[in-house]
Structure 1
């Protein structure tokens, strides 16, 4: 069983619940969490038919923990600034390792459902995008804030976002960093359902129950077919993300973020 201080994992029959469990820090994310998420997906029991990704507290995830931007790094975590300063190539390889915590869910046979409440920003938004389906509370606030910091979303989110809402809207969402709220999320296909906060857990369970009613072989084949129908291979897009982020953070770490 994968263990991480900010993650809770619970299995009940054919359903695995993966819960972000650091509500005091709005479920801010770190590289060690990304590696743990990737390991959960990699070692997923083939008998698991549905994975629920949810979060404790008021917010799904506020994104990358801000302490990761400190020059001296964050205790117990890789120093991203030092890594970015050293080598673009090595840093791109490091990002590729972290991306697995977001992209590997699409490669599993299980249907992955994200139950999202409150703010899902940056890495939080991208984790939700890594799921097959999203059920959201009516107070949800999705946002990509990376560009405003001189970076780009690099955790596998640009391909599913663009495939879902289209090129122009995806670009606008990322460049402006604005919030995408519940009504727009459902209307654009980012979310399947939006419900009052108090109904989010129960509604998610209802969706899961409906998924479990369908024959497992047909569900597996349908997921593969739907993924194959998308236009941009995620494997290519995450490589592009990693290279772009490595170039940008290399400049930031070297003290040359302008120009």
Structure 2
């Protein structure tokens, strides 16, 4: 499928999605959000894709925020729909994919950009990355899950400070706060993500999808994460991947998971 605002590439079991609006610092407009939804959906349904990497084009920005020109004149009702639809179409959708998603954060990840990175399963940042939620400086709050996911990742106090000050933190601060898993040079960012993705790809994609579901259950209201874990653990025993993994272990060989 041809896209206007993103590029996709597949190699060695990894689908890389690149947000490609460099003149807008890769800001998210509605067309880009819808294209990202389709690209993530296609990759998740592709049996050959074991890991998805999302990044921004150029050296300045992962995503510098939402395209404010699209919603500056919205009413309260339109604003509420904007947030609800965006969360459903992209941010919650990415978080709940069964295929692991790594955010390769290059440069600015602000507002909706940081919210997109936080919706991914984990994040790797280049040493020039700058992250923040500046929404209150515009008279609004984060609307794509930022108030919730930032708090989950860095704790209530740090999240409150970042949101209230509308300030940015650098990559090393993000690392120490638990917002990103690794920091590397911009030149090595994608190669490090691909190295990690390669390690993930060696394991059972079925088990990884079940683990994502169980981990996410911990953050859902009225859901007992322990019960979800027990159920997903039990279901694993009925998969071909479990049969292959245990056989390979007992036979002292490398597993060749069928992904079923």
Q: Shared fold (TM-score greater than 0.5)?
A: yes
Deviations 1:59-105, CA, capped at 9 Å, x for gaps: 1121123433xxxxxxxxxxx345x23xx345423432222222211
The correspondence for 1:158, drawn from 129, 143, 147, is 147
- Where in structure 2 are the equivalents of 1:1-259 lying within 5 Å? 1=1, 3-12=2-11, 14-43=13-42, 44-45=44-45, 47=47, 48-58=49-59, 59-68=61-70, 80-82=71-73, 84-85=74-75, 88-99=76-87, 100-230=89-219
Q: Distance in 2 between matches of 1:95 and 1:178?
A: 22
Taking a change above 3 Å as real, the CA distance of residues 32 and 137 of structure 1, as seen in their structure-2 partners, is: same
Q: Which has the higher contact order (CA 8 A, sep 6+)?
A: 1
Unaligned runs of 5+ in 1: 69-79, 234-259
Q: Distance in 2 between matches of 1:97 and 1:180?
A: 28
TM-score (normalizing by structure 1): 0.78
Task: Give yes or no for contact 2:99–2:205 (8 Å, CA) kept in 1.
Answer: no
Task: Give yes or no for contact 1:49–1:109 (8 Å, CA) kept in 2.
Answer: no
Task: Give yes or no for contact 2:106–2:186 (8 Å, CA) kept in 1.
Answer: yes
Task: Give yes or no for contact 1:60–1:117 (8 Å, CA) kept in 2.
Answer: yes
Point out the more displaced range, 119-128 or 92-101: 92-101
Task: Give yes or no for contact 1:163–1:231 (8 Å, CA) kept in 2.
Answer: no
Query: Structure 1 residue runs of 4+, over 6 Å off?
Result: none
TM-score (normalizing by structure 2): 0.77
The aligned length equals: 218
SS at match of 1:197: coil
Structure number, greater radius of gyration: 2
Task: Give yes or no for contact 1:36–1:101 (8 Å, CA) kept in 2.
Answer: no
SS at match of 1:63: coil
Deviations 1:15-55, CA, capped at 9 Å, x for gaps: 22110112222112211111222233344315232111011
Unaligned runs of 5+ in 2: 223-260
Computed over aligned residues only, the root mean square deviation of the Cα atoms, in angstroms, reads 1.9
Q: Distance in 2 between matches of 1:65 and 1:81?
A: 9
Task: Give yes or no for contact 1:39–1:101 (8 Å, CA) kept in 2.
Answer: no
SS at match of 1:198: coil
Q: Distance in 2 between matches of 1:30 and 1:177?
A: 21
Q: Distance in 2 between matches of 1:143 and 1:90?
A: 24
